[in-house]
Structure formats: C-alpha cells, structure tokens
Amino acid sequence: MDIAIMIEGQDGLNWPRWQRIARAAEELGFAGLYRSDHFTNAGPPDLDSLELWLSLTWLASHTTRIEFGPLVTPFSFRHPAFTARIAAQLDDLSGGRLTLGVGAGWQEREHTAFGFDLLDVAARMERFQEGLEVMSRLLRSDAPVSWQGRYYRLHEAVLLPRPQRPGGPPILIGGNGPRRTLPLAAAYADEWNAVLIPASHFSQLNATLDGLLAEQGRPANAVRRSLMTGIFFGHDQAALDARLQGRDPASLRQRGILVGAASAVQEQLAALAQAGVQRVMLQWLALDDLAGLEALAKAVLV
C-alpha cells in the first residue's frame, strides 16, 4: 500500500508553506501529495487559501517524483472542459504524475460567498455526471466531440495538444455513497477514493464497487482503490497527547482516523491494506510541523 499526504488548501495555505510541504513530501519519500480545492472553510475564520491549479503547477515544476492532484475539485467552480484542459496540460508538464480528482461540490458557505451555484443534491449529482461525461470524452477522444446535456454541451470540440498519456490523467472520484458515488466511479473512474471510514466499512464498499464494475463490463483492477483519512500521530506518548488535546483515541479510531505512535499506526495501516486500500492519503493538518511529518515518514515508510 502506498502512503501519501493530503492537506487542506483553505487552512492557511500560502506559498512558503506549500513550497516547504511539497519539498518535504518529495524528499521524505511519500508517494504523493494531494490537496483540497476550497476558497474557505465551512465556518469562520477565513484563512489563506492558494488557488488549486496554480499551486499544483508550481509542484509539477519543482518536484520530479511524487504524484499529486486535487482531492477533489468540484465542477461547480469550473466548467468540465476547462478542468480537462488544465489537467491534461499539467499532467504533461509533470511527466504523467497528476491524478484528476473531481467532485460535485458540497460546501454551501463558499458557494454563497463567491456566487457559485451549488444546486440541490439531485441536480448537483446530475450536473456532476454530465461533467464526467464531458471531461472523459474530451480527454479520451482524438476526434472532435459533440454532446448535449442539460448543463453542458459540446460541438465538434477537441483538446489540443492531445494528452501525452493516452486518455489523459487518471480520473479519481471521491466519496462513500453506494447509491450515487460508487455507480459513477464504476462507470467513469480510474480510481475510487473513500473518505474517513474504518477498514471494515471500506471493505464493504470495496466489494460493492467490484459488483458495479462487473455490471459495467469492467474488470475489478480497472479502478484503483484509495482512502483519505485523518491521523493523530506522535513519535512518543507526550507528542501524541499534545496532538490529541483531550480527544478520545477510541472514538477517533471508530471513525476511521489513525491514532497512535509508530507501532499503533503501522497496525492500523496494515488493516487498511488488508481491506483493499492500495493508496492511503493521510490528512496532515499541521502545515508548519515538518518535524512531525519527518517523524511520520520514518515510522510508516518502510
């Protein structure tokens, strides 16, 4: 199982912090670095927030090894044709290291503040499916594409230059919903990313996805399985207690969050691998704690 880092881009991310974290992730040996795409958080205070694609372009130009991408970018912010065009060219710039994580959008506060239409859940998911159709057609078709939906339309559209990777960067769909999200992952995704669930729940959804892929006529190995989850790690008990700040470790673990020093975290990672997780993205919220990130790397990267 690969181990990557995920950060929240709206939690005070600025250029110095992003540059330090990206270099550290590369040098410490993590498989990848992923970030959210938000203007701000669901509640105040508002903090620094780097624009997603600008930050990833810097990363592509200043690293050579780590994979990266959004977890996830919503179609409510950008037309899917624009997202596909940016992603294909950024993937080329990086030498094929981008994973294109996309979503429907969910956070009401930022959509209201900046004037984006979030829509109700049913319409939002309909728009998301249309966006996936538009994006996948543009990335995967060398011929001009014409297509008509309720929210998007194409008329003899073609992305040039064509992506260097056939079909463009792999498409990641994130979420745990068995009724809407998993069927879309089975139809469109190259990677499914579950969010903040324990190993037992992941195993159940993983089996559900296998069945949905079979219905689509796709093999189970057509879609990589990953998980984004939180972590409270300390190199010793004192450091761990400082991280927890009174939170109950057992309750956190029940929610799928990793808690402990090296041996405990290793055991929890092994359980995720046994459940079918092929890559785990560990949510690192302490943007300035590079010493803690280095200690984590020494504990889990073997």
pLDDT digits (tens, 9 = 90+) for 111-153: 999 999 999 999 999 999 999 999 999 999 999 999 999 999 9
Q: Tens digit of pLDDT for each residue in 169-215?
A: 999 999 999 999 999 999 999 999 999 999 999 999 999 999 999 99
What integer is the mean pLDDT of 232-256? 93
Dihedral of CA 296/199/280/79: which sign?
A: negative
Q: What is the mean pLDDT of the chain?
A: 97
| pLDDT value of position 207 | 98
| Angle, alpha carbons 239-240-245 (nearest 5°) | 100
For 250-288, write each residue's pLDDT tens digit: 999 999 999 999 999 999 999 999 999 999 999 999 999
Q: Give the domain ranges of the chain.
A: 2-300
CA angle 199, 274, 70 (to 5 degrees): 60
pLDDT score recorded for residue 302: 75
Other CB atoms within 10 A of residue 123 CB: 14
Q: Identify residue 213 by its one-letter amino acid code.
A: L
Question: Rounded CA gap, 39 and 48, in Å?
Answer: 9
For residues 13 and 54, what is the distance between their CA atoms, to the nearest angstrom?
13
CATH topology for 2-300 is TIM Barrel (3.20.20)
The 10s digit of each residue's pLDDT in 33-61 is 999 999 999 999 999 999 999 999 999 99
Rounded Cα distance between 222 and 171, Å, is: 12
Lookup: tokens for 281? 């993205």
| CA nearest neighbour of 192 among 70, 132, 277 | 277
